[in-house]
Structure 1
Amino acid sequence: MADTTPAARTEQPGGAIHNDVKEYYGKILQKTSDLKSNACVPSAKPIPAYIRKALEDVHPDVTAKYYGCGLVVPECVEGCRLLDLGCGSGRDCYMLSRLVGRSGHITGVDMTEDQLESARKYVEYHMERFGYKKPNVNFVQGFIESLREAGLEEKSYDIVISNCVVNLSPDKASVLREAYHVLKDGGELYFSDVYSNARISESLRANKVLWGECLSGAMWWEDLVRLAEEVGFSTPRLVTASVISIGNEELERLLGEYRFVSATYRLFKLPKCSEKKSCLVMYDGNITGSEEKFEFDAQYTFKVNEVIEVDGDVANTLKNSRFSEEFTFHSQTSGACATKPKVMPVDPFQLTELLGSAGVVPSSGGCCGAQESCCK
């Protein structure tokens, strides 16, 4: 069924794909209901109250042109500089504009003129609604494969987000590479996208409708892990995943046995020489919207004042990112009662099977004895 040879850097000439996507999202799609499949739709996961309030403040015309496949709202964003890849009409930018506050800033980049026109039209509206004297959001026309050519400076953003856009790019490696370059040290790429259970065939990648519907351009999830390592990111942390039902008999027939999920990953740009050593940490409960618990990914949920054992990768990430001030790192473990994390799959398809219809992971772990070593 699937091509399992190393992925090519481009599936067809980039200019042709870019033009097709521009036409699809600038001319053919005028509102969310114009989509022909269920791939690019918001996740059914409940939206936290503080995010829901921010979304309610977004102008209806902006929301009507929203084509995302998940809720891409990283935690701990107050005062941060964020970049939204493929911002479209700007819904996520305006929502995050509210969350980062006056001292933060959001940049949206998109290649589609019609989408950017819709986004820029409502800058003043949202600044007045949020009570900001000057805009903390701007929109740039450019390709997500060439961020620096679009005028975005290296090491200038704390967080890069993307919502159902990377699959539309003909050059996924360049997207990850450019995101890596514009991120500050310790920065994060936090993004939701469509993934396939195998590498999509050449014939399906050439189908304009399937590409525009975020399906034939979807990455095989294993390719994401490989590309992240090649670029220099930390190992991708799977946050959540949900099954995509195509909902269109004609497209389902064309796709055959391919299956798809909407999954959110977080990738960090960490120091190359940083130590990866397991340790005990305790969450302090100061992140907005996560006052009782912080769901870092599918494996780790940190409850306030609970000591938990983390592996070397997570310890390294927490110590060298914006989350460093949100945790207490224990250097002495004598007498400590630590909760062990759940053992979770890295395959998003396996995660959806584990989640099941309940949408939650069975709890595990418990109190353990003192650990022999811990980071400082």
Structure 2
Amino acid sequence: MYSVPRSTDSDCSTQGLQTYQDVKEYYGKCLKNSKDLKTNACVAPSRQLPKHIRDALKDVHEDVSARYYGCGLVVPECLETCSILDLGSGSGRDCYMLSKLVGQKGHVTGIDMTDEQVEVSKKYIGYHMQKFGFQPANVDFVEGYIENLHAVQIKDKSYDVIISNCVINLSPDKRAVLKEAYRVLKDGGEMYFSDVYSNKPVSEELKKNKILWGECLSGALCWKELVQISEEIGFSPPRLVTSSFITVDNKELEEILSDYSFVSATYRLFKLPQGKAKEKWQVIYNGGITGCEEELQFDANFTFKEGEVVKVDEELGAILKNSRFADEFLFRPCEKGDLSSKCQPKQEIIRDPFQLAQKARNQHQAPNSGSCCGPKGCC
């Protein structure tokens, strides 16, 4: 059983409750597969996919993949034996792919509020477990709201990783989603998610457009709001991974959107232990993470090559040292007053997804074969 999220200032109104019904209707009944989308709003280029991820995706049943709507591929690194929660799991495509990657000792839970989608995802548990050779099953699905994980008995500090793929923009209460994610993450845990962001706060009038909300645009956060909300809740500052401009090819919707711009971006948030001192480090990637044996592209700002010494600031140092990545690096302290190049700031940190998307556009970087979206979109 599940219940409507507890009343909050932002979602207890009639408009907030109506949003849930509109989204359920859109994704449960209006959309039968990704070809039914009216815009390409959620098409997002992804990095070239490692072979182990491509192989895992190939093993997902075609009926599950056909009802997949997402704006990126949310597969962080170093997942073996991890417990993962997928917020807005839909048909279960990402869950099944991740269930293979975490292995028999890991576990994946998907939660979605649309009963038609949950029904599809549950239908193929046996198929995938037989395909992967896992017994007992290492994946399960629950019907519920991502704003209220309490209602489906998800406990504090119970997951290593949380993922979400183009879903938070559909929620009328983003703060509640992030607050619940923080609660159920273990110390050192990560929230790794793709979503849509606007260049400025979306007007109340635009938020009432059901099609634009269902197509993941009018419910988007301004990226600066994400930074503010996540840090207020307790996460470390968001680390930008990828970003791409969204193109709306529908003339009518384009006129309605006027001077709004949107990007599809992937961020990673970490829940770090409280009270631990932060310091600068020289770090050396040991290599060997599956799919990143020689190079780990951690975010848009830092790529670690095996055996190479890289200076990181207090923020990134705390993330690497207190997360599942700790055993993947060697750490050397930067002494106070050290003026060597290895302990000096390396580069400007890009947090603005529009800046990163523009940089990619300027460099003529086109979407590559790593894109995981359908022909018209995959939101």
CA distance in 2, matches of 1:174, 1:137: 25
Match of 2:3 in 1: none
Q: Cα 1:332–1:256, aligned 2, differ >3 Å: closer, same or farther?
A: closer
Match of 1:72 in 2: 74
Once the two structures are TM-superposed, the CA of residue 139 in structure 1 deviates from its matched residue by 0.1
Match of 1:162 in 2: 164
SS where residue 265 of structure 2 aligns?
Answer: strand
Matched, 1:311 2:313: yes
Could you give the per-residue CA deviations for residues 181-208 of structure 1, whole angstroms, max 9, x where no partner exists?
A: 0000110011000000000011110010
Q: Cα 1:150–1:327, aligned 2, differ >3 Å: closer, same or farther?
A: same
Match of 2:223 in 1: 221
Could you give the per-residue CA deviations for residues 150-182 of structure 1, whole angstroms, max 9, x where no partner exists?
A: 211110000000000000000000000000000
Once the two structures are TM-superposed, the CA of residue 250 in structure 1 deviates from its matched residue by 1.3
Q: Work out the number of aligned pairs and report it.
A: 353
SS where residue 159 of structure 1 aligns?
Answer: strand
Q: Which has the higher contact order (CA 8 A, sep 6+)?
A: 2
Mapping 1:189-338, distance limit 5 Å: 189-331=191-333, 338=342
Letter in 1 for 2:10: R
CA distance in 2, matches of 1:92, 1:213: 19
Match of 2:365 in 1: 359
Could you give the per-residue CA deviations for residues 37-73 of structure 1, whole angstroms, max 9, x where no partner exists?
A: 1122353542222111110000011000111000100
Contact map agreement 2:42 2:246 (CA 8 A) in 1: no
Once the two structures are TM-superposed, the CA of residue 343 in structure 1 deviates from its matched residue by 2.0
Match of 1:345 in 2: 350
Contact map agreement 1:344 1:351 (CA 8 A) in 2: no
Match of 1:94 in 2: 96
Letter in 1 for 2:22: D
CA distance in 2, matches of 1:347, 1:255: 21
Letter in 1 for 2:245: V
Contact map agreement 1:238 1:266 (CA 8 A) in 2: yes
Q: Percent identity?
A: 56
CA distance in 2, matches of 1:348, 1:42: 12
Letter in 2 for 1:219: L
Q: Which runs of 5+ in 2 are unaligned?
A: 1-8, 367-379
Matched, 1:81 2:103: no
Q: Cα 1:336–1:133, aligned 2, differ >3 Å: closer, same or farther?
A: farther
Contact map agreement 2:207 2:213 (CA 8 A) in 1: yes
SS where residue 170 of structure 1 aligns?
Answer: coil
CA distance in 2, matches of 1:312, 1:335: 16
- Aligned partner of 1:188 among 184, 187, 190: 190
CA distance in 2, matches of 1:103, 1:358: 42
Letter in 2 for 1:338: K
CA distance in 2, matches of 1:329, 1:343: 22
CA distance in 2, matches of 1:343, 1:261: 21
Letter in 2 for 1:291: E
Match of 1:132 in 2: 134
Contact map agreement 1:300 1:341 (CA 8 A) in 2: no
Contact map agreement 1:280 1:338 (CA 8 A) in 2: yes
Could you give the per-residue CA deviations for residues 324-354 of structure 1, whole angstroms, max 9, x where no partner exists?
A: 0100001377998739643242110011111
Could you give the per-residue CA deviations for residues 256-278 of structure 1, whole angstroms, max 9, x where no partner exists?
A: 11000000000011122122211
CA distance in 2, matches of 1:335, 1:36: 55
Match of 1:9 in 2: 10
TM-score normalized with structure 1 length: 0.90
CA RMSD, Structure 1 to Structure 2 (Å): 1.8
CA distance in 2, matches of 1:208, 1:53: 37
SS where residue 322 of structure 1 aligns?
Answer: coil
Q: Which runs of 5+ in 1 are unaligned?
A: 1-7, 361-376
Could you give the per-residue CA deviations for residues 209-240 of structure 1, whole angstroms, max 9, x where no partner exists?
A: 00000000000000000000111111000111
CA distance in 1, matches of 2:231, 2:88: 23
